[in-house]
Structure 1
Amino acid sequence: MLRLKKASLWPLPARLASAALTAALVAALLHLAWLHGLLAAVQAAQGEEARLRTTYLQAQARAGRLPGWREQQRRAGAELARLEWQLPNSQQMAALLSDINAAGQSRGVQFTLFKPGLPQPQAYYVALPIAVQLRGAYHAMGELMADLARLRRIVTVHELALTGGKDGMLTLDAVLHAYRLPDAQERAALARVPPLPIQQAPLAWRVLPDFIPLPYAGTALPDPFAAPLQAQQAQQAQQAARGGVAGPDLRRPRAALESVALPALSMVGSVRHAGRLSALLLAGQRVYRVEVGQHLGQDHGVVTAISEQAVQYRELLREADGPWRERRGSLGLQVAGSAGAAAKASLPEAAP
């Protein structure tokens, strides 16, 4: 019987067979270890293949959406350019302020305060606050707010406060904010400011609907400040009965030329249209066409007659709480330089 302790004494065939069997077992163990490592590598490769396949499919899906994204980028760039066009640069701000002033004058609203403040740089724009105080009728104020919304540039209204007066006119205190693009120095200053942390989140871009400002539609509504005027109108009627003339209609919308003092108006010509003679009045750099019955001046003036040589008007004045008094006057034709002034100016018709 063969024993392992006496393996050296085994016959040669037995020793050779034992060595061969041992070598076969070692080889089998090594092969099993190699197969185990190879199996792990195959499984890892299969996992990597699945991951790469998923990544490829996702990239292929994104590539399919690339034309749409490029179109969105193009539309976003066009929308950004359109929005930036609404922001003037520093050289164009003077024209914007002039447009605001002209909008008030066209509605018969008088600016008693127009004070621009210090620029307020923001991340992408510069806000210019403008403290204003206006006097005018209630509905004229509403029409002016609608006109500001229809300006080519962006103007917003803040801190609005309305105060009624004894003469029927309202005082509006507000802060207008005009916006412009930053200049080179302001952009350099903003570039030195560290940006605020932004949360990483997917951006969803969509086209904003076009903002179409609506016209003022409150003309037919009653003036909420007109109720206290009823007693005042009754008092005016009593005063007119004792002496003087009837007072003006304080609730009517103010005309464009009522924000201009009469000494600043001059007659530069006349035109005849549909058989009616109209006068051409120069106010500043603009020429207005007025007819009989239209209002002008800051004392409730109204045109009573027009000839080729002069414009006759009537004003209503009042001292303290006394009766209304009538004052009449005329604007004579200014011959010298009138043709040149009329040629350079536009001819809008003054609102009645």
Structure 2
Amino acid sequence: MLSLKEAASWPLTNRLLCAGLLGALMAAAVYVAWLAGLGASLQAAQEEEARLRAAYRLSRAKADRVPVLREQQRQAGAALASLERQLPRQQEMADLLSSINQAGLDRGLHFTLFKPGPALPATQPAHYVALPITVQVRGGYHAIGAFAADLARLPRIVTVHELALVAGNDGVLTLDAVLHAYRLPDAAELAVQAKLPPVKMQPLPVRRVVVPFAGSDYDAAGLPDPFGAAVLAVAATQNAVAAPDLKRAREPLESVALSEMAMVGSVQHAGRLSALIQAGGRVHVVAMGQHLGQDHGLVTAISEQGLRYREVLQEANGAWRERRGGIDVQTGKVLKPVIVEAQP
């Protein structure tokens, strides 16, 4: 029996057979290791193929959506162009503010505050500039609703924010709100926007079917006024004054708002003290008992420090109420040459 310890003394034939068997075993081990590497490469190639197939299907789906996306881009461009046509330029904003004010006056509302503020700075490149307008309006519930509808019908875009509606102690509703009027940016504002960092585009939202609004007319006038009971209860506790004489001839200063008048001094006229009121580029001599302002204002007292007046306003419930106020002398004001007119 052959022993490995005596392998050197084996016959040549046995030694050759043993060497061949050892070589075959080594070749088999190398072959098995090579097959394992091929298997790993095959698995990696199959995973890469699956990834590429998924990417291909995703790209194919995106390619199929290209016509839809182009149509959405066309619709967005058309909508943007339509909205830009509703945006005035800076020099047209005065007309827009006048239209907003006139819309309230046409509904019988009284503006106690109409204060345009500075344009809101853009935090990102935008196609518009927003101009906030703080307003306080007094009147009836349905008149305020109709005023909001009139704002929606304006040819320019105006939105309502921070709306608050309360019934006052005098029985009249007061609307506090901030209106936003929009305009196109000017060259300086465009230059500032160009320096802003780019905004990451968000994906388009899922398109929903929206039923268009048939119109902006206020059609709730027949519904009950939710503030009606409170307004009537308050009004019943207050004494109404007599209605003014609507047929009397109006005096010149009754066409000018009190906010546009300024008292610049006083003068002794016909043995009594009269006020010098500057309005519309002229200085008018106003005596006691004369009318001024757009709400049947009557001058009740004149002194060297100012004048006092009494107005009569018609409230939402039809009653006439009295309001008192005054115009103080503007001291230290340099007057331009004007024409002094004495009222009859």
Query: How is 1:151-190 mapped onto 2 (pairs within 5 angstroms)?
Result: 151-152=154-155, 153-161=157-165, 172-190=175-193
Give the deviation of 1:39 after TM superposition.
2.0
Deviation larger for 150-159 or 209-218: 209-218
Aligned to 2:143: 140
What do residues 140-183 of structure 1 show as CA deviations (whole Å, max 9, x unaligned)?
A: 333222211222312315354556586x8766554322233443
Moved segments of 4+, more than 6 Å: none
Give the deviation of 1:85 after TM superposition.
4.1
TM (normalized to structure 1)? 0.55
Structure 2: distance between partners of 1:151 and 1:10: 115
TM (normalized to structure 2)? 0.56
Query: How is 1:31-46 mapped onto 2 (pairs within 5 angstroms)?
Result: 31-46=31-46
Contact 1:261 1:298 in 2 (8 A): no
Structure 2: distance between partners of 1:108 and 1:10: 129
Structure 1: distance between partners of 2:80 and 2:45: 48
Aligned to 1:216: 218
From 112, 128, 142, the equivalent of 2:131 is 128
Cα distance change, pair 8–206 in 1 and its aligned pair in 2 (3 A):
same
Query: How is 1:258-269 mapped onto 2 (pairs within 5 angstroms)?
Result: none
Cα distance change, pair 23–183 in 1 and its aligned pair in 2 (3 A):
same
Contact 2:169 2:234 in 1 (8 A): no
Secondary structure at 1:28 match in 2? helix
Deviation larger for 128-137 or 187-196: 187-196
Aligned to 1:253: none
Aligned to 1:7: 7
What do residues 217-257 of structure 1 show as CA deviations (whole Å, max 9, x unaligned)?
A: 34344572345445768x77xxxxxxxxx748xxxxxxxxx
Alignment gaps of 5+ in structure 1: 237-245, 249-257, 265-296, 300-316, 325-352
Structure 2: distance between partners of 1:51 and 1:204: 28
Give the deviation of 1:61 after TM superposition.
2.9
Aligned to 1:204: 205
Structure 2: distance between partners of 1:97 and 1:212: 26
Contact 2:160 2:180 in 1 (8 A): yes
Give the deviation of 1:25 after TM superposition.
1.9
Give the fraction of aligned pairs with identical amino acids, expressed as a percent.
Answer: 50
Structure 1: distance between partners of 2:253 and 2:217: 29
Alignment gaps of 5+ in structure 2: 245-249, 257-293, 297-310, 314-319, 321-344
Secondary structure at 2:65 match in 1? helix
Contact 1:162 1:170 in 2 (8 A): yes
Give the deviation of 1:100 after TM superposition.
0.9
Structure 1: distance between partners of 2:189 and 2:151: 27
Give the deviation of 1:13 after TM superposition.
2.7
Contact 2:163 2:175 in 1 (8 A): no
Contact 1:121 1:182 in 2 (8 A): no
Contact 2:165 2:176 in 1 (8 A): yes
- Tell me how many residue pairs correspond in the alignment: 250
Cα distance change, pair 39–112 in 1 and its aligned pair in 2 (3 A):
closer
Structure 2: distance between partners of 1:64 and 1:44: 30
Name the amino acid aligned to 1:204.
P
Name the amino acid aligned to 2:15.
R
Aligned to 2:99: 99
